[in-house]
Amino acid sequence: MPALEPHNIKYLVVHCSDTDEMDIQGIHKMHLGFGWEGVGYHKVICRDGLIHNGRPEFWQGAHVKGYNESSLGVCLIGRTSFSDAQFKSLITVLSDWKSRYISAKIVGHRDIQDTDKTCPNFDAGAWWDSLEAPMAAYASVTSTLCPVYDDNGGTASQGRGTELLYGETVRILSHQQQNQMIKVKTILDSYEGWILDSDIGFSSDEPVLPSPCITWPSVTVTSATDVTSPACAQLMLGSRIILADTANTHHDLETEADWVKILLPSNQDTSRTGFIPAGALRPVSDWVGLAEQFEHVPYLWGGRSFSGIDCSALLQLCLHAAGLSIPRNSGEQFAFFQHAPHQRIEQDTPHQRGDIIFWPGHVALCLDERNILHANAFHHKVAREDRVTALPRLHKATNGSATTIRPAF
């Protein structure tokens, strides 16, 4: 099968199946009957919005004669009426493609080939242009903490899902101009939600390169290399900074007394600089010890900082500082740790420092054989407590039993 070179991709072509009854298996059989090498599209979107993979992107499709060597194709199941779920998935597919093939043009089958076909029976290019924001642009968080909401209402009552930290990179998915809300997808853990556009600064059509992370629970940025100088900002664990002077970076990190000069980009001024202690950028070797520094920090649903934090964010931030990237929410974290080389530990087996205990919707970490640490609503803070005492209460509160994982990293 001929290869499809990424630099040759000039068009992203939208098709329809001309019937509601077809599925990807049916398309595959039909295209085999044409003498083709199976399904000719790269993606097929069913009526329920489920996205099926067709041909890999590195193979030429068989979907638009004369342009297969310069295009990717996606097919909507249907003729003239498509579901909201299908259009949502179409945005997902095209946004993903546009993030990697930025100059590619979005067109319908009828718009690119000299044909009597009316496929996909709507103006795909005009539909895409009518969306309220450019898709697949990248941006960096410019506020110290940026709330992420589950929908575009923009208030805590609408569902505060998580928080973004200063310097984190997101991909722009869509924009609601009437309330200045932007839908984003995080680069760190692929979390999707809505944020205020005032909390980010648009950067480019490419993801921002990785930059150093703050590895202290919190650090003050000062205007000079003097603790008595005015404070510029307070940055939290996991915040990403840009070094203003990379020439002396290795020297700066050698002793606690050294300072590091950093840029403080913002939507208004991209030239401000400040200073942080070099120790705030040092790699973390004891992630449990880092978590212990959060003891007594207030519990905050969706919180992800020293100002307020929830159980899964405490685990994610501290493990990420030690070099292990895991998902944001406890359920996905539990799924992440189900695979080797991580081990499941029986509850009657002696626990050890660094073991992680999961319940439905909750997670804690072991400080030693007896004590655990977790952000929880019962104590309204990050609390240390006896595991034996906590287990019955958490079993009742979560309506589920505990599972202990021993991470291997």
Q: What is the set of active-site residues? A: 15, 41, 109, 117, 119
Q: Which two tokens stand for residue 399?
A: 């309506």
| CA nearest neighbour of 7 among 102, 94, 120, 118 | 102
Q: CB of 71 within 8 A of CB of 9?
A: yes
Under DSSP, the state recorded for 386 is E
Which residues contact residue 121 at a Cβ distance below 8 angstroms, ignoring those fewer than 6 apart? 16, 79, 80
How many angstroms separate the CA atoms of 364 and 355, rounded?
9
Integer CA distances (angstroms), 247 to 241, 242, 244, 330, in order = 16, 13, 9, 40
Other Cβ atoms less than 10 A from the Cβ of 4: the count is 20
Q: CB of 392 within 8 A of CB of 398?
A: no
How many angstroms separate the CA atoms of 62 and 45, rounded?
17
How many angstroms separate the CA atoms of 193 and 313, rounded?
16
Other Cβ atoms less than 10 A from the Cβ of 134: the count is 13
Helix (H, G, I), strand (E, B) or coil at 321: helix
Q: In this structure, which amino acid lies at residue 194? A: W
The distance from CA 160 to its chain's CA centroid, rounded to whole angstroms, is 15
N-term to C-term CA, the chain: 41
